[in-house]
Structure 1
Amino acid sequence: MHPSPVRPALAAVFVVLGFMFATAFNTSNRALDARASRSSDLAGVVRDMEREREDLKSRLASLRASVSDARRKAAQEAGVRETFGRDLDEARAAAGLTLVIGPGVRVVLDDAGTVPEGAEPGDCVVHDSDIAAVVNALAAAGAEAVSVNGERVTATTPIRCAGTTIMVNSTRIGAPYEVLAIGEPDALEAALREDRVSGPLFGDFRAVYGLRTTIAHGGSIEVPAYAGSVAPAYARAAGGGS
């Protein structure tokens, strides 16, 4: 009996099919492995991104806290600077180191035009003591700033005679003498007229010796700043350096 020619052909077909099946199976496995690998890689990337996001959130919260703290400190420092600046301005104004403007009085003291009969020439001129009396009366009445012929009066201002002229802050001045003072105008004028020393300048001395003196109110009196040196030669703050 002769072998059937179909069997070898079928065997060959089965071999080919088996090879194709094995190849397809291996390809499928490799594809699955690749997808699994990619999925694993993507999962790792996602985890890394999540960790980075959490880290960024933490850093952002820290930065926000730092900014908030910086703003708080800046506000505190600004408040300190504002307070210090305001106190410094007030101290400078009180010390006479700044130009100031406000209501007050303008006082003019001038020598007599002629010497009245029976009067002494020395009685008919304005003396340093007269100017000092006016300044003292104004200060006692609460004047916040005073100047004499443009010279700001401070705590150490000397008013003294130098021959036929008067010295204020080491500056020679001459008649007429203009005294500007900032304060309550009525109170300042009342003090000048009622003071035991300055009062006669606007009363008896004016009538008897011909002194030309006036007091005028002003709503915007301008008193200049002190222009001299304020550095003490001997005094220093207690507990401070040399």
Structure 2
Amino acid sequence: MPESATRLPDQVVMPLLDRIVRESLDEDYQVVAARKSRERPRSSAAQRPPSPGSGRPRQVAAAVMAVFGVLVAIAAIQTSRNAPEANASMASLVEQAQERREGLADLQAELDKLRTSTNALRGDVAQAQADEQAQAARITRLEARTGVGAVRGPGLRISVDDAPDGDVSQQVRDSDLATLVDGLWDAGAEAISVNGKRLTNLTAFDNVGPAIHIAGTPLVRPYTILVIGNPDTLQADLLDTTMGQRWFTLVQSLGFDYAVKPADSLSLPAARPHRLRVVRPFEQTPERPGQDAGAGGS
């Protein structure tokens, strides 16, 4: 292959410093030559001696190259001196990055622990809320059973009165109403009131002459008994109880005026609180299905 075909351009193979010097000198020569051609007359161009300042560009270029070389040497020396500090700074940055990475890993582990603890606490809160709702429902049932709270719901409206045109023996007495009320409790009644008086497990019927009293308050005939419970099954369940059968026997034998009507919504007030004077130990008895402990009839 010819040498000219493989020869590379001077700007590729020439060292950078030589290239800078050559280009600087060429430009200076061009400037000086142009200036001389303008100042020298054409007629005496061959006779005028060379200008004494023709060597100045070469001197300037040499000075520039000397200064440039000094700067390069200073930069090299400064770089050499700063190399240990740079390496130390780099090592310090690497160490700091590693420490930050380890700290981030510790924080992530702590975050995972906190998330696990938070989920456990949420489970405890949900369980506590469920227990609270269950206790609130139980309290509501107990309030309905014991008469402490007012209640509303479907049930039966019962009317009881003396036998029409009957004598004294055919009048409704306190024991008769107590028999009916006990039968209703046994049939699954949730709440009972007589003439607007809420009944509890401490309520007692008394006869004072011909009048029936509840806790010292006289009742006026006819006796209206409101019962909250299932209106579809309560009356039939009453017939299956011992006290209910006894009540219907009294109705048939004495001719009481007895009427029952289902009601979609009944409102029973809360019972008046009683002041306890005597306290006895409670004896646990088996609960009937659907009845809470401590609830009962009259």
Question: How far apart are the structure 1 equivalents of 2:236 and 2:176?
Answer: 19
TM-score with structure 1 setting the length? 0.70
Q: Name the Cα RMSD after superposition.
A: 3.5
SS in 2 for 1:97: coil
* Counterpart position of 2:9: none
Q: Tell whether the 8 Å contact from 1:137 to 1:198 is kept in structure 2 after alignment.
A: no
Question: How far apart are the structure 2 equivalents of 1:17 and 1:85?
Answer: 94
TM-score with structure 2 setting the length? 0.59
SS in 1 for 2:246: coil
Question: How far apart are the structure 1 equivalents of 2:92 and 2:162?
Answer: 106
Q: Which moved more, 1:35-44 or 1:182-191?
A: 182-191
Unaligned residue ranges in structure 1 (runs of 5+): 1-12
Structure 1 residue 198 displacement after superposition = 4.6
Q: Tell whether the 8 Å contact from 2:147 to 2:270 is kept in structure 1 after alignment.
A: yes
Structure 1 237/17 Cα, relative in aligned 2: closer, same or farther at 3 Å?
Answer: same
Tell whether 2:190 aligns with 1:144: yes
* Counterpart position of 1:195: 245
* Counterpart position of 1:86: 137
Structure 1 residue 187 displacement after superposition = 1.1
* Counterpart position of 2:79: 28
Q: Tell whether the 8 Å contact from 2:192 to 2:199 is kept in structure 1 after alignment.
A: yes
Structure 1 residue 83 displacement after superposition = 2.6
Q: Tell whether the 8 Å contact from 1:185 to 1:217 is kept in structure 2 after alignment.
A: no
Tell whether 2:227 aligns with 1:178: no
Structure 1 124/195 Cα, relative in aligned 2: closer, same or farther at 3 Å?
Answer: same
Count of equivalent residues:
215
Tell whether 2:93 aligns with 1:42: yes
Q: Name the larger-Rg structure.
A: 2
Structure 1 residue 58 displacement after superposition = 1.6
Question: How far apart are the structure 2 equivalents of 1:204 and 1:160?
Answer: 22
SS in 2 for 1:196: helix
The equivalent position to 2:173 in structure 1, one of 127, 133, 150, is 127
Question: How far apart are the structure 2 equivalents of 1:63 and 1:194?
Answer: 62
Q: Deviations over 1:181-216 (max 9, x none)?
A: 234243156469973345443x4534xxxx644222
Structure 1 residue 46 displacement after superposition = 0.9
Q: Deviations over 1:119-171 (max 9, x none)?
A: 64x34643222322322332343333221112222222100013453221343
* Counterpart position of 1:59: 110
* Counterpart position of 2:42: none
Question: How far apart are the structure 2 equivalents of 1:19 and 1:59?
Answer: 59
AA aligned opposite 1:135: V
* Counterpart position of 2:203: 157
Tell whether 2:270 aligns with 1:219: no
Structure 1 residue 91 displacement after superposition = 2.7
AA aligned opposite 1:187: A
Structure 1 residue 219 displacement after superposition = 3.3
AA aligned opposite 1:195: Q
Identity %: 26
Structure 1 residue 50 displacement after superposition = 0.9
The equivalent position to 2:254 in structure 1, one of 201, 205, 215, is 205
Question: How far apart are the structure 1 equivalents of 2:222 and 2:163?
Answer: 10
Q: Tell whether the 8 Å contact from 2:174 to 2:206 is kept in structure 1 after alignment.
A: yes
Tell whether 2:119 aligns with 1:74: no
Question: How far apart are the structure 2 equivalents of 1:161 and 1:30?
Answer: 119
> Higher relative contact order at CA 8 Å, sep ≥6: structure 1 or structure 2?
1
Q: Deviations over 1:2-25 (max 9, x none)?
A: xxxxxxxxxxx9xx9998776444
Runs of 4+ deviating beyond 6 Å: 16-22, 191-194
SS in 2 for 1:72: helix
Structure 1 17/226 Cα, relative in aligned 2: closer, same or farther at 3 Å?
Answer: closer
Structure 1 residue 67 displacement after superposition = 0.8
* Counterpart position of 1:7: none
